[in-house]
Amino acid sequence: MLPFVAIALAVVGVAVVLEVVSYRALERLPSVATEEFPEIDRELLGKFSSFDPELGWCPQPNREKQKDTGDHLPGEEVRSVVTYSTDEYASRVCPAKERDPDADLTVSTYGDSYCFCREVDDDETFQHYLAQELDTHVANYGGGNYGLDQALLRLKRQYPEDPTDHVCMVVTASSIARILSVWKHYQEFGNILAVKPRYVLADGELERLESPVDEKEELLDLESKADFLREYDFHYDHWFEPHFATRPYTADFLAKNEHVRYAAYTAGKGLERRLGRSIPGIDFDLAQTQSALRLERPRVRYHERLFDTHEALFDALIAEFVDYADEQGFEPTFVMVQQLRYATYEAEHGPIYGDLLERLDKRYEGLTTIDMATHLSPDDGDVESLYVERGEGGHYSPETNAEIAQVLAETVDRRAIVE
């Protein structure tokens, strides 16, 4: 009898260990949610310096921040620290040209982190290169993780203080998901501080839903706002719930081979950091990035479906942008850029936004549209070469930003000729 008891206890012990290990591994997977309301403590809240009650979050004026954009080993000769600086308007600085109230030509840009140009220095943004091309200051009002909705709200708030002749709205295709979001955690697991307003369509008209968080302190108890968050964040039912891990965690972890590969590469990176040197034979950083891209494929396909089901809301926000341009008298340009996860997918399947830009061209005579992917096609087909080599992954390199600047400069010049 005792041997059977010992065997049973051993089996139970192994099962418990597997459950614990599997749960810890699932916590690190970008494609799996393990908690609906992770704890937000005061230490984390204190680091959230960009909180904005109207927009959810927003870059702050007169700041300089150095950011290490990725993992690297001690002494490794990889440039991974970049500087982000903002001016008194909370625009990222434009080293190429100072503001000139008497300039004959003025340009501003709004959008997401691809507009802000994360992972490169202040003098490597496309705004810096565009300022050199046009010989005028170019304002950069990009916001990390912004959707078209937040970018539009920031434009309406900022433009009266900083009016320009041209406004470029620069976003990625993930905007289709971001405009349906109220709490980013429901679609980007772990992004727990990002609560935002959103628009809905009511009888064909845009209706703005204010952020449910008026004061930063309210983030400490988001669970008290659960009913609102679940009702108005589209992704709660359609993305969060289907990807929420439940017991037995071992089954969820082993459900996909990619889960195991990602966990192994993550463990390898951790081992390298502890050893203080690279392990010969495999680049764990590159392997983890490629694994993460494979894990992202279902999200990309999800976003592709959203362009079919929610194009009316996206189109209505573009209409609002065009109407505001008419009201204020500036030339509007809409620019679609690609995250790395989209670029690799679209290289095989075509753009996830379909004929969006063609439709916008036909609908709005005064709007210029640019599908930047058609201008950034490497001869060898290696789309990954357009992006920074190391770091958070997926933002354009300085060389690509210089190419983007040339495309935008030609657009501004053409508009000037038409006028």
pLDDT tens digits, one per residue of 198-257: 999 999 999 999 999 999 999 999 999 999 999 999 999 999 999 999 999 999 999 999
pLDDT, residue 2, reads 61
Q: Does domain 2-418 have CATH number 3.40.50.300?
A: no
What single string gives the DSSP state of each residue in 76-93?
Answer: -----EEEEEB-TTSPBP
List the domain boundaries for the chain.
2-418
Determine whether 338 is exposed, middle or buried from the number of CB atoms within 10 Å of its CB (0-12, 13-18, 19+).
buried
Indicate the helix (H) or strand (E) that contains 4. helix 2-28
Label the pairing between strands 64-68 and 56-57. Answer: unpaired
Please name the residues in contact with 376: beta carbons below 8 A apart, sequence gap of 6 or more.
338, 386, 400, 403, 404
pLDDT, residue 71, reads 45
Phi, psi of 107 (to 5 degrees): -140, 140
Q: Do 117 and 67 form a contact (C-beta atoms < 8 A)?
A: no
- Residue whose token pair is 């354009």: 396
Q: Residues of the chain whose pLDDT is less than 70?
A: 1-2, 68-80, 390-393, 416-419
pLDDT, residue 75, reads 44
Number of CB atoms found within 10 A of residue 147's CB:
27
Integer Cα distance of 148 and 353 in angstroms: 14
At 272-330, the pLDDT tens digits run: 989 988 888 889 988 998 899 899 899 999 999 999 999 999 999 999 999 999 999 99
Phi, psi of 132 (to 5 degrees): -65, -40
The answer to whether the Cα torsion of 265, 144, 334, 314 is positive or negative is positive
pLDDT, residue 297, reads 92
Q: Do 109 and 158 form a contact (C-beta atoms < 8 A)?
A: no
pLDDT, residue 77, reads 44
Integer Cα distance of 187 and 189 in angstroms: 6
pLDDT, residue 380, reads 77
Is the pTM higher than 0.75? The answer reads: yes
